[in-house]
Amino acid sequence: MSELILGIESSCDETGVALVRTHPGAVPTLLAHALHSQVEMHQAYGGVVPELASRDHIRRVLPLTEAVLAEAGASLAQVDVVAYTRGPGLAGALLVGAGVACALASALERPVLGVHHLEGHLLSPFLSADPPQFPFVALLVSGGHTQLMRVDGVGRYALLGETIDDAAGEAFDKSAKLLGLGYPGGPALSRLAEQGDATAFRLPRPLLHSGDLDFSFAGLKTAVLTQARKLGDALPARSADLAASTQAAIVEVLVKKTLAALVQSGLQRVVVAGGVGANRLLRTQLDAACAQRGVRVHYPELHLCTDNGAMIAMAAAMRLQAGLEQPRRDYQFDVRPR
Ligand code: KG4
Ligand code: ZN
């Protein structure tokens, strides 16, 4: 039976809504999605202000829902399941998505389904025209998480390694802040890096030879800070070089550990997901390294790397199809910030 799944994402600074259709025995398809980014609003504060984020989600979520339904040529009454991001994320922001999802579902007398934000990222490459096949190694690199996983199917995830301190996204964001690049740091640092020399500064590659699949990026941030202090007044003239050197260090660790995960698991396919998956250097270096080994790499489409509603609707649809979920009808605002 084919079902229409409405997905709502509101865990941080993007409000995302999407409509996905399930097909028996096939990958669900995206009918429409809409996104409102709060980046401009938070920029003045140098980072996400949780209270402002929640207020803006409230303002955006229903107009975005109407836009998605209009684009898909569907009515609210046709929606079979309402899915939302249950966590992790900002508690107040999550509550907006959960509250609206429960209210819509209750009015429609349809079930609701809470989705794990990271599972949304993980399954986002299935939104592309050429989706991956199971099993694969997943490199999950978002703002708060850096994980390598073995993925054998929907809901069949084995953690191979993860960061013991900062995430790769945090390393990008915190280094960008040290360089005065503001928020969001990752894209800004990677833009500046394009004009710099990646060999200019020798920065540490933490845990590169640790023999396991764990990561550590806190020391790298400290090394960037030390280098920035040493440069002093010369920093502005060398910031592109420092940005390029920082990006090269982060990317080298991510690529080498992903290759090690392939060796350890014996798998021949990689899926990269999460905001850092939009990074151009990561994509070119991972593609080159994997091509040499005959390994295929799948990414979400660029605009679906960072937070969006499509990945939430998709993850809900895939979990329903896999028989992993009994959508709830109790309409409790069930969120899990951590
Ligand atoms: O997955 P995401 O949108 O949100 C979370 O679930 O955390 O990831 C956001 C992270 C931020 O750290 C951001 O700086 C980083 O992804 N990011 C990038 C790029 N685009 C986003 N990092 C490096 N290069 C990029 N092009
Ligand atoms: Zn995310």
Structure tokens at 332: 């409790």
pLDDT at residue number 338: 87
What is the number of the ligand closest to the CA of 315?
Answer: 2
What length does the chain have?
A: 338
Q: 191: Cβ–Cβ under 8 A, 6 or more apart, which residues?
A: none
Q: Whose CA is nearest to atom 3 of ligand 1?
A: 306
Q: How far apart are CA 246 and CA 224, in angstroms?
A: 7
pLDDT confidence of 183, banded at 50, 70, 90?
confident
Atom of ligand 1 nearest to the CA of 273: 1
Radius of gyration of the chain (CA): 20
Residue 120's φ and ψ, nearest 5 degrees, are -60, -50
For 134-143, the pLDDT digits (tens) are 999 999 999 9
Inform me whether the pLDDT recorded for 194 exceeds 90.
Answer: yes
Kindly report the CATH class assigned to 133-299. Answer: alpha beta
Is any atom of ligand 1 closer than 6 Å to the C-beta of 85? no
Residue 337 burial (10 A CB sphere; 0-12, 13-18, 19+): middle
Atom of ligand 1 nearest to the CA of 176: 14
Q: Whose CA is nearest to atom 7 of ligand 1?
A: 143
Are both 4-123+305-321 and 133-299 of the same fold?
yes
CB 304 within 8 A of CB 314: no
Q: What share of the chain is helix, strand, coil (3-state, %, to 5)?
A: 50, 20, 30
Task: Map out the domains of the chain as residue ranges.
Answer: 4-123+305-321, 133-299
Structure tokens at 46: 């140098």
Is any atom of ligand 1 closer than 6 Å to the C-beta of 185? yes
pLDDT confidence of 184, banded at 50, 70, 90?
confident
Residue labelled with tokens 């990677």? 190
Q: Whose CA is nearest to atom 2 of ligand 1?
A: 275
Q: What is the ipTM of this complex?
A: 0.99
Query: What ranges make up the beta strands (E) of 98-224?
Result: 112-116, 136-141, 146-153, 156-162
Is any atom of ligand 1 closer than 6 Å to the C-beta of 16? no
Structure tokens at 201: 């500064």
Mean pLDDT of 232-246: 97
What is this structure's pTM?
0.95
CATH 3.30.420.40 fits 4-123+305-321, yes or no: yes
Is any atom of ligand 1 closer than 6 Å to the C-beta of 161? no
For 105-133, the pLDDT digits (tens) are 999 999 999 999 999 999 999 999 999 99
Q: Whose CA is nearest to atom 21 of ligand 1?
A: 275
Lowest mean pLDDT among 33-42, 133-142, 294-303, 327-336: 327-336
Mean pLDDT of the chain: 96
pLDDT at residue number 182: 84
Mean pLDDT of 141-149: 95
pLDDT at residue number 327: 81
Residue 81's φ and ψ, nearest 5 degrees, are -140, 140
Q: How far apart are CA 159 and CA 229, in angstroms?
A: 37
For 293-303, the pLDDT digits (tens) are 999 999 999 99
Report whether 117 belongs to an annotated binding site.
yes
- Cβ neighbour number for residue 131 with a 10 Å cutoff: 14
Q: How far apart are CA 298 and CA 127, in angstroms?
A: 11
